[in-house]
Amino acid sequence: MSYPTKEDRERCWNAKDNYWRCLDSHDSKACQETRRMFESSCPPLWERMEKEGFDPVEEKKKEGS
């Protein structure tokens, strides 16, 4: 398994931000293209974590780190 590069992470974050920005002003049907970009730009685990509402900062707080 190869780890994502800085560019891979930035591409994923930008795609996620664009998707959520679209959802802020449109319904999910209108955001299908930005969702496809998000899904194709991010590793499957990141997509699943995003869908499930995973927040790494909150998780660290729970762990006491």
Rg (CA), the chain: 13
Beta strands in the chain (DSSP E): none
Overall average pLDDT of the 39-43 stretch? 88
Mean pLDDT of the chain: 80
Burial of 63: CB neighbours in 10 Å, binned 0-12, 13-18, 19+:
exposed
Predicted local distance difference test score (pLDDT) of residue 57: 47
